[in-house]
Amino acid sequence: MYPENTLLAFKKAMELEGLEGIELDIQLTKDGQLVVCHDERVDRTTDGIGEVRQFTLTEIKKLLIEAGNGRYEQIPLMEEVLELFRSGKKLKDNLKLNIELKNSVFPYEGMEEKLIDLIHKNGLQDRVVYSSFSALSLEKIRKLDARAEIGILDTKISDCLYKLKGGCGANALHPCWCGLDIPKERVSGYAVRVWFTGHLYPDKPTGNRLDLAALEQRGITDVFLNEPEKYV
């Protein structure tokens, strides 16, 4: 209902009752600022063209994200999201913030240090889950914060487990919902948060509702959804 990875979408999500948390994606600008954007390029979601890393913060803030009815959003700073998160009434209700480090295509130098420093400055280290497709990045997170909650991303849950052989010490597995290729008994000690592909703003709503009970029977503990208002 609202453009992804924007302050508007996060604000609307925080108003929902029963939501476990909010997922977002971060990258670095040309001048080293943490910004929230899913794609490595800005083409799909904004009126600009190019890679996030090619823009300075000033330049990327000039890009517009259409939000309907003549409204526009901007690519937010991670710090702006944290300000919104801390000011929301849901903070006291243990709302989580799942931050995906988008560094598997471009390994942004220093991203982990900047993020950990920002989270600790805001006193939110107990509310954050760090995730990435890059096990090396998550190993850095673990070294920077021994108590960090970490979710390893991959398409198949077996590949998530394989990545655990490194030093990231993930607490959770974040596979695609269609990638549960091993018995649930083998992952019973982990949170299993699955992601779905599909509906994105401004596509029309799907009109469908997943059978969450059936997913739970398969060992899934949490789901990342683009239409949470249908479930809470």
102/197: higher pLDDT: 102
Residue 208 pLDDT: 85
Model confidence at 187: pLDDT above 70: yes
152-174 core/surface letters (b: 16 or more CB in 10 A; e: else): bbbeebbbbbebbeeebebebbb
Residue 61 is assigned to a structural domain of this protein: yes
Q: What is the CB neighbour count within 10 angstroms for residue 145?
A: 18
The CATH number given to whatever domain includes residue 215 is: 3.20.20.190
Average pLDDT over residues 156-165: 95
State the Cα–Cα distance between residues 144 and 85, nearest whole angstrom: 23
Residue 125 lies in a domain: yes
Q: Are 152 and 174 in contact (CB under 8 A)?
A: yes
174 contacts 159 by C-beta, under 8 angstroms: no
pTM for this structure?
A: 0.95
45-83 pLDDT, tens digit each:
999 999 999 999 999 999 999 999 999 999 999 999 999
Domain assignment present for residue 1? The answer is no
- State the residue range of the domain holding 53: 7-230
Number of structural domains found in the chain: 1
Q: Answer yes or no: is 70 within a domain.
A: yes
* 139 within a domain of the structure (yes/no): yes
Residue 2 lies in a domain: no
Inside any domain, residue 221 = yes
Is the pLDDT assigned to residue 180 strictly greater than 90?
Answer: yes
